[in-house]
Chain A
Amino acid sequence: MQDLELLQDGLALMALGMGVVFVFLTILVISVTLMSKLIGRYQPAPVAVETGKKASSSSVSSAHDDEVMAVISAAVHRYRSARRR
């Protein structure tokens, strides 16, 4: 008789446990989907953000870019002349 009770308890715990796990993870799925949608709407996609940053920074520092180009070409020149030797 007591065994039957134990069996029933086990079955109840099994149903309750599986139920809670599924309900909780379902809520999690819904909230994750909602969160992703919200973030996607209010914050542009990460790729877009990066290009935006680049565009804004490049206009400010075109003089800087020229300097970098000069340095690079000097380095290439050095390297080539060194190899020829």
Chain B
Amino acid sequence: MDKLVTLWEGSGLYNLELGQAAMILVGLLLLYLAIYKKFEPLLLVPIGFGGILANIPEAGLAISALDQAIEVAKPAVLQQIAAALGATLDPLANAEAWRESLKVIAHDGVAPDQVRAARDIAIGVGYSNGMLYNFYKVAIGSGIAPLIIFMGVGAMTDFGPLLANPRTLFLGAAAQFGIFATLFGAVALTSMGIMDFSLNQAAAIGIIGGADGPTSIYVSSVLAPELLGAIAVAAYAYMALVPLIQPPIMRLLTTDKERQIKMTQLRPVSKLEKVVFPLMLLILVALFLPDAAPLLGMFCFGNLMRECGVVERLSDTSQNALINIVTIILGLSVGSKLMAESFLAFETLGILGLGIVAFGIGTAAGVLMAKLMNLVSKMPINPLIGAAGVSAVPMAARVANKVGLESNPHNFLLMHAMGPNVAGVIGSAVAAGVMIKYLG
């Protein structure tokens, strides 16, 4: 009978907390959206699944060896850990109270060498880092995974349309207004006392408006790792929703006549220009904005591999095999941040709300900038392509094309919209560099 009780007390059902149950449901919801609604399935399937894994009670897949030990170790071990952390445990309280107080102490203002000593004790008595915790440390904690994805995106990007019409870069710049307006929005919500975000957190939330998954993950891993789960989920979910979010804003801000504007055929771009462009961008980054160098450096590297034409195999690997491998690990690592205690907060709702506002403002700013450029330039510019300035390659360009076709079935804007679209990628990486420089 005793053994039965032990078995029951070790079961998931007995230990399941309400928050964990809720997060498992969130994970299932993400899987549903990915599988049946085709929302960015390549990322939401690993993220959703990782989220479920991270919330399995007692398994501790997403926590470090020390946290694991604090959660389940025997009282004797807890005392050892407390001694290493330089804390005293109330001898009258029970083990559960000790666990609570140790959890707070271990994450708050203890010297790094004390934490290391406590971790060594935990590892010494046989606890180890959870699988997802290790994935997170390697892939996101080191910053590697988003950067490798960025290299792959660079290897997939054709800068031809941008080089043929360089002024579309301005549209990519204007759409970044969404990032900074959202940052300001988050700060304003804080100062009104509705939410509680630091400036770093506000910046990480704003970057959702860059509509660029790897950039969002990179920035939030640097500036606000505690919000990474919610930010990544918001970024990818809204990227999938671009075809629903953008068109109403685009129609609202343009007249039917403007939507019918035909753009002049793009000139052919020589191979030499395409090879020189990534190198030139790299040199400009080196000269003016070294803080964007990790993101844009990898981006340029990937693009050079694509365009130079002599490393076909490397380019192929970074576009396909490598990016797929990294996507799996990145997704699971993001999922590990979907733990109940950090995700189930009022702030998460704020992040989701601000994220969609960021997308909307970015779209509107791009469209308005295109209208402005139309007034001053001789070459006609269809304002719809401004909406493609929020990156979300190539979804946003397709949306611009589709809305254009509704007004004039013979007006194909896809290639014209690719220019601002890839400009948006550069723009959001530049914005990320500025924020990391200013706050990091």
Check if A and B associate.
yes
Interface residues of A (CB under 8 A from B): 3-4, 6-7, 9-11, 13-14, 16-18, 20-22, 24-29, 31-33, 35-36, 39, 43, 45-47
Q: How many residues of B contact A (CB 8 A)?
A: 46
Q: Are A25 and B435 in contact (CB under 8 A)?
A: no
| Nearest CB of chain A from residue B160's CB, rounded to whole Å | 12
Contact A20 B280 (CB under 8 A): no
Task: Give Cα distance in the complex from A28 to B203, angstroms.
Answer: 25
Q: Is the CB of B191 within 8 A of A7?
A: yes
The reply to whether B177 and A18 contact each other, CB–CB distance below 8 Å, is yes
Binary A-proximity of B125-167 (CB < 8 A = 1, otherwise 0): 0000000000000000000000000000000000000110011
Q: Kindly identify which residue among B163, B276, B289 contacts A24, using a CB–CB cutoff of 8 Å.
A: B289
Pair count A-B, CB < 8 A: 111
Whether A6 pairs with B191 at a CB distance below 8 angstroms is yes
A10 touches B181 (CB 8 A): no
How distant is B437 from chain A, measured CB to nearest CB, in Å? 9
Q: Can you list 23 A-B contacts with CB-CB less than 8 angstroms, sorted by A residue number?
A: A3-B190, A6-B190, A9-B187, A10-B202, A13-B180, A13-B183, A13-B203, A14-B180, A16-B438, A17-B183, A20-B289, A21-B176, A21-B430, A21-B431, A22-B173, A28-B166, A28-B426, A31-B280, A39-B272, A39-B273, A39-B276, A43-B272, A46-B271
Q: A28-B169, A39-B276 are in contact. Are A7 and B288 (CB under 8 A)?
A: no
Assembly CA distance A24 to B299 (angstroms) = 16
B280 and A14 contacting across the interface, CB-CB below 8 Å: no
* Residue from the list A10, A14, A43 in contact with B270, Cβ < 8 A: A43
In the bound assembly, the distance between CA atoms of A3 and B202 in angstroms comes to 14
Q: Contact at B181–A25, with CB atoms within 8 Å? A: no
| A32 nearest CB neighbor, chain B only | B166
Q: Are B434 and A17 in contact (CB under 8 A)?
A: yes
Tell me which of A7, A16, A25, A32 contacts B187 (CB under 8 A): A7
B423 touches A25 (CB 8 A): yes
Closest chain-B Cβ to A69's Cβ sits at a distance in Å of: 32
Q: How far is the CA of A31 from the CA of B284 in the complex (A)?
A: 9
Residue in contact with B434 in the complex, picked from A9, A20, A25, A31, CB distance below 8 Å: A20
> Residues 159-197 of chain B: 1 if any A CB is under 8 Å from the residue's CB, otherwise 0?
000110011011011001101110110111011010000
Q: Which residues of A contact B202 (CB under 8 A)?
A: 10
